[in-house]
Amino acid sequence: MTLVKTKIGRRSFIRTSALAGGGMMVGFSWLASCKMTPEEVNALPKEWFEINGFLKIGDNGKVTIMSPNPEIGQNVKTAMPMIVADELDVDWKDVIVEQAPLNLDIFQRQLAGGSQSIRAGWEGLRMAGATARKMLKQAAAKAWEVPIEEITTSNGVLYHKASNKSAGYGEMASAAVTVQSPDAAPESIEAPEEVELKEIKDFTIIGTDRLNVDGPDIVTGKPLFGLDVYEEGMLTAMIVHPPAFGKKYKSMNVDNVKSMPGIKDVFPITVYPEGVEKQWSDGGGIPELVAIVGESTWQCMQAKKALKVEWEGPSELESTASYGNDLDKLLEAPVTAARKDGDFNRAFKGAAKTIERTYSAPFLAHNTMEPMNFYAHVTDEKAILKGPIQTPEFLEKTVSAVLDMPLDKIDIGMTRMGGGFGRRLYGHFGVEAAVISKKAKAPIKLVYSREDDMTQGTYRPAYKVKFKAGLDEDNKLIAYYVKGVGTNDDLIFENRFPAGAVDNYLAEKTSLETKITTGAWRAPRSNFIAGAEQSFMDEVAELAGKDPIEFRLDLFDRAMKNPVGDPEKNDYDAERYAGVLKLVKEKSNWTNSGDKARGVSAYYCHNSYVAQVLHLTMDGNTPKVDKVWCAVDCGIVINPISAKNQIEGGIIDGIGHAMYSQMTFKDGVPEQQNFDNYRLIRNNEAPKEIESYFVDNGIDPTGLGEPSLPPIVGALANALYKATGQRHYSQPFNTEKQILG
Amino acid sequence: MANFSVKVNGKTVDLEVDGSTPMLWVLRDHLKLVGTKYGCGIAQCGACTVHLGDNAVRSCQLPISSVGEKEITTIEGLSENGDHPVQKAWLEIDVPQCGYCQAGQIMTASALLKSNPSPSDDEIEGAMNGNICRCGTYTRIKKAIKTAAAENTNA
């Protein structure tokens, strides 16, 4: 039995109240984790105690779980209520999941999710369900005059077996809120201080397949997304941004455009005026833009085409070739070590066999299928904004500074997001919408064209990494060196594998400042370093004459039994890492796969472990991925059908970008502007089959939105090598040495 | 600007717009049928797919002036209660992640099955290659189409 406290000090994670019209309401902290000492609590952000999720049980027994988080595609809107419902012990078919209505006082802050949602929310969500269940049991115990210990629950029904009494949750819901403190005013009803959580074996909803709660709305085309916002009297706005990174607005001729049908106004805007400091969440927001406001999107698009804008800026602008050279130079420049175990240089010099390889990857656009957009209605009194954003609390701060308006006059509503991949952490488009609305004195919806979206910036950085490895006479890995460089980003997680498994280890990192703006892209840094590292590891294993899985398992064995350096520093668990490799080895029947073109890879990021085997065949110069086996350790799996969907998506995304995608630049101008020359993976290029397996270990759940993407690039490169004899060092692979179509 | 009369989801609608306006924006901005999505504007991503008669077409490249008498069906009009075999299969296989491209995927898939009730894998890929899913739900899309095709055959 696990008991958890609903209060820490005087602060409570739970608030309860009666429901108008009968029933009970339990408010809880959506992303709270409660396993903490009082000292740790003091360090917690205040919003962890803010009540922002609600559970309502009506007199009819229907349970409504209101989630403050908008959905971005990871299906947390289904998974998180499943956790609440399981602890509540209710039938899933009686559960209604609602996105919290916007602008309610009771929802103090809408928090954004990400890969950490389930991990952060796990305890708090369980506690909420368990609290409501305990309150219902208290009510039944009182009504039936029996001890609470004798009350049991199942599927939304309370039982007292000895007296053969039973009651649905709905029948006890109204009484449940008054039983603990019968004379309390509705707003000061106390929740039980301690509640009991279920044992894992007693879960009835967690670990079972539950369909996406928004599925019916999605397949019937209901308005869910930011671009679907159409408010009364709303105009459309579009922007024109500088055509090249490094250029700025100079002037424009609006005469021919202002008279175009439907066009209301055309004006330059300063998004970030002097004195307003950009936050990280403004990403690559461009300070000065041109705005077009009109009646309809098509009319704005026509005006955008006709508008002639003059830009100014330096004649020397960045190109793919120039920053490529600069990254190469950085790779050779001396830097301070990020981690050093033993003496790499000496061991490498004395090694029996050595190998050195360099890998690179280009800038990538996020290319969410729903381009950036935001609705804004700014008046002298207030600013109402609405759209697809992962960081509303940050957007609110920037908008407050830019409009010089107090925070409490600004309202940010969140819609479902047509993809994120990191892009919607950076809400400069919301700021732009607010500035345009204020100047146009009208409610507007800012719409980025695909070209605006793709050429705006905020890209996945371009990276290069150099590895060196040395083996002794027994083909044991004795020296390992990694140096990573990236544009506006360094690349290396120095305490990840194989740190701790090699006697002489040296990790270095540094970054190159560029004008081409960058931001987090699905599984930041891991999205490149994993594939590079796992391709290199394959070559090292080959040099050692060992099976690539056995070679890795030996290293994990070393990290487990006799770790190099301080094992506390290593930010991975070698046993769990080895566990997924063993599982994928077994499931893919690796040992008996013979000459088949198969590649293996394993990686740890976002607190989850993933190992993959990819099998492909060549159709002429075109690789066809026949099958991917994927083993995952993300602790307890909440919703397997949806967890598998995330894994499949990450695999397809990873293969696609490694094979086909890149942003290149000539004199600061992005050379890809739309999907005709930015290649994304298509239906026929996806694996024919993906099998996913989970390690069943009862560990608290961790993220799934990102971890399957990084390693697949290594599995792909290693399988390509088996099929073609060609190693791949430079993404996208299809442009490398012209061997792949 | 000119007056047009178009048939959308079984209803005739009259409106005054520029003849060059693509049906995508007529549907979204003028008729508030927002299930049809904007993705690229150049017929490369398939998010805006609707049926023109029985054919799947990219509505971003379909000026209202070229529609004429032909009937347009959007995701909102594909079935009365969201129970078209393709929609049902999409739910059963739990295809969507972010969901943005799925209306277009469903419109392409339903047109495919209308002309070819039991397509081969190659035929499915051939028809679906014009629809990008950035979340990577392609394997489920294929599976859902096969599920819907099986239901068609059994029915």
CB environment A232-266: b (16+ within 10 A), e (fewer): eebbbbbbbbbebbbbebeebebeebeebebbbbb
Cis-peptide into A223, omega within 30 deg: no
Does the structure show a pLDDT above 80 at A33? Answer: no
Predicted local confidence at residue A113, as pLDDT: 43
Q: Do A629 and A717 belong together in one domain?
A: yes
Tell me if A218 is assigned to some domain.
Answer: no
Cβ-contact A293, A236 below 8 angstroms: yes
Checking if the pLDDT of B96 tops 70, the result is yes
Dump pLDDT digits (tens) for A502-546: 999 999 999 999 999 999 999 999 999 999 999 999 999 999 999
How far apart are the CA of A622 and the nearest CA of chain B, in angstroms?
15
Identify whether A216 is part of a domain. Answer: no
The answer to whether residues A695 and A607 belong to one domain is: yes
Residue B32, pLDDT > 80, answer yes
Report the pLDDT value the prediction gives residue A14, as an integer from 0 to 100.
Answer: 78
The HSE-up count of residue A150 (CA atoms within 13 Å, CB side) is: 14
**348-377 in A: which are within 8 Å (CB) of B?**
367-371
**At residue A25, what are phi and psi to the nearest 5 degrees?**
-135, 135
Three-point CA angle A563, A35, A52, nearest 5°:
130
Dist. CA A178–CA A135, nearest whole Å? 9
The pLDDT value given to residue B81 = 94
Tell me: do A498 and A523 sit in the same domain. Answer: yes
Length of chain A: 741
Note whether residue A594 is domain-resident. yes
Would strands A669-670 and A665-666 be described as parallel, antiparallel, or unpaired?
Answer: antiparallel
* ipTM score above 0.90: yes
From the CB of residue A693, how many other CB atoms can be counted at a distance below 10 Å? 19
Domain boundary among A415, A447, A479: A447
B28 to chain A: which residues are within 8 Å by CB?
Answer: 297
A75, A219, A690 ranked by CB distance to B82: nearest:
A219
- A246 & A194 share domain: no
A683 and A560 co-located in one domain: yes
Confidence of residue A112 (pLDDT cuts 50, 70, 90): very low
Angle at A675 between CA A671 and CA A680, to 5 degrees: 105
Query: In which band, very low, low, confident or very high, does the pLDDT at A31 lie, cut at 50, 70 and 90?
Result: low
Residues of A (291-330) whose Cβ lies below 8 Å from B:
296-299, 301-302
Average pLDDT, chain A: 91
Considering the domain architecture, whether residues A329 and A308 belong to the same structural domain is answered as no
Give me the pLDDT at residue A737, please: 62
Q: Which of A606-615, A652-661, B144-153 has the lowest mean pLDDT?
A: B144-153
pLDDT in tens, A489-502: 999 999 999 999 99
Last residue of a domain, one of A206, A240, A268: A206
pLDDT of the residue at A177: 81
Partners of residue B48 in chain A, C-beta under 8 Å: none
In order of start, what are the domains of chain B with their CATH numbers? 2-77 (3.10.20.30), 85-154 (1.10.150.120)
Amino acid A101: pLDDT: 53
* Torsion from C-alpha of A605, A606, A608, A611, nearest 10 degrees: -30
Question: Residue A508: enclosing H or E segment and its boundaries?
Answer: strand A504-512
Give the type of residue at A499.
A
Cβ–Cβ contacts within 10 Å for residue B146, how many?
16
Separation between Cα atoms, residue B2 and residue A488, nearest integer Å = 51
| In a shared domain, residues A250 and A388 | yes
**DSSP letter at B30?**
I
pLDDT for the residue A50: 57
- How would you class A324 by CB atoms within 10 Å of its CB: exposed for 0-12, middle for 13-18, buried for 19 or more? middle
> Same domain, yes or no, for A135 and A61?
yes
**Alpha helices per DSSP H over A285-332:** 297-306, 320-332
- Contact residues for A146 (Cβ-Cβ < 8 A; gap 6+): A160, A162, A163
Residues A20 and A78 in one domain: yes
- The percent of residues above 90 in pLDDT, for chain A, comes to 76
Contacts of A367 in chain B (CB under 8 A): 134
Look up the domain containing A405 and give its range: 226-314+372-447
Q: How far apart are CA B41 and CA A450, in angstroms?
A: 7
Closest by CA to A192, choosing from A11, A15, A10, is: A15
Task: Name which of A45-59, A194-208, B10-24 the model is least confident about.
Answer: A45-59
What residue type is B14 in one-letter code? Answer: D
A104 within domain boundaries: yes
Minimal CA separation from A122 to chain B, in Å:
21
Q: Is A212 a member of any domain?
A: no
Amino acid (one-letter) located at A2: T
Residue A47's pLDDT is 46
Q: Would A454 be classed as within a structural domain? A: no
pLDDT for A66: 82
Which has more confidence, A369 or A316? A369
Task: List the structure tokens of A186.
Answer: 């509705």
b/e map A569-587, b = 16+ CB within 10 Å: ebebbbebbbbbbbbbbeb
What number is the average pLDDT over the span B104-129?
97
| Residue A442: predicted pLDDT | 98
A273 preceded by cis ω (within 30°)?
A: no
Could you tell me the CA-to-CA distances from A163 to A141, A150, A168, A172, A265 in Å, in that order?
12, 10, 16, 17, 76
Mean pLDDT of A437-441: 98
- Position A191 scores a pLDDT of 80
Q: Which residue in A654, A72, A605, A673 sits closest to A365, CA to CA? A: A673
Q: Which of A163-177, A462-476, A609-623 has the lowest mean pLDDT?
A: A163-177
Q: How far is residue A84's CA from residue A704's CA, in Å, rounded to a whole number?
A: 19
Task: Read off the pLDDT of each residue in A143-147 and give the average, rounded to a whole number.
Answer: 95
A443 and A463 belong to one structural domain: no
CA dist., res. B146 & res. B137, Å (int)? 14
Q: How confident is the model at residue A279 (pLDDT cuts 50, 70, 90)?
A: very high
pLDDT in tens, A544-603: 999 999 999 999 999 999 999 988 888 899 999 999 999 999 999 999 988 899 999 999
**Dist. CA B92–CA A216, nearest whole Å:** 10
Residue A619 banded pLDDT, cuts 50, 70, 90: very high
Gyration radius (Cα) of chain A, Å: 28
Find, among A727, A736, A265, the residue nearest to A536 by Cα. A727
Query: What are the chain A neighbours of B74 within 8 Å (beta carbons)?
Result: 221
Quick: pLDDT tens for A199-249: 999 999 999 999 999 999 999 999 999 999 999 999 999 999 999 999 999
Task: Tell me how many helices (H) and strands (E) chain B has.
Answer: 5, 5
**Residue of chain A whose Cα is closest to the Cα of B90:** A219
Number of domains in chain A: 3
Distances (CA, A) of A271 to A274, A290, A573, B78: 10, 10, 45, 42
CB contact under 8 A, B102 and A218: yes
When pLDDT is cut at 50, 70 and 90, the band that residue A184 belongs to is low
Give A175 or B91, the one with higher predicted confidence.
B91
The backbone region for A88, taken as left when phi is positive above 0, alpha when psi lies in -120 to 50, beta otherwise, is alpha
- Return d(Cα B84, Cα A211) in angstroms, integer: 18
A254 domain-assigned: yes
- The one-letter code for the residue type at A410 is I
Do residues A664 and A320 lie in contact, with contact meaning Cβ atoms separated by under 8 Å? yes
Summarize the confidence of residues A598-613 as an average pLDDT. Answer: 96
Distance CA A693, CA B26 (A): 46
CA distance A111 to A418: 18
- As a whole number of angstroms, the distance between CA B72 and CA B66 comes to 12
Q: Are residues A423 and A491 in the same domain?
A: no
Which of B15, B134, B143 to substitute to test the interface with A, most A CBs within 10 Å? B134
Cβ separation of A296 and B25 shorter than 8 Å? Answer: yes
Residue A650 belongs to domain with CATH number:
3.30.365.10
Interface of B with A in 3-22 (CB under 8 A): 17-18, 20-22
Domain-terminating residue out of A447, A474, A501: A447
* Interface with chain B: mutation pick from A626, A683, A709, highest number of B CBs within 10 Å: A683
Burial of residue A98, with CB atoms counted within 10 A of its CB: 0-12 exposed, 13-18 middle, 19 or more buried: middle
Distance between CA atoms of A122 and A35, rounded to whole angstroms? 11
Residue A107: which pLDDT band, with cuts at 50, 70 and 90? Answer: very low
Are B117 and B153 within 8 A, CB to CB?
yes
Structural contact between residues B4 and B45, judged by C-beta atoms closer than 8 angstroms: no
Q: Are residues A586 and A490 part of one domain?
A: yes
> What is the DSSP code (8-state) at residue B69?
T
Instruction: Write the DSSP symbol of residue A396.
Output: H
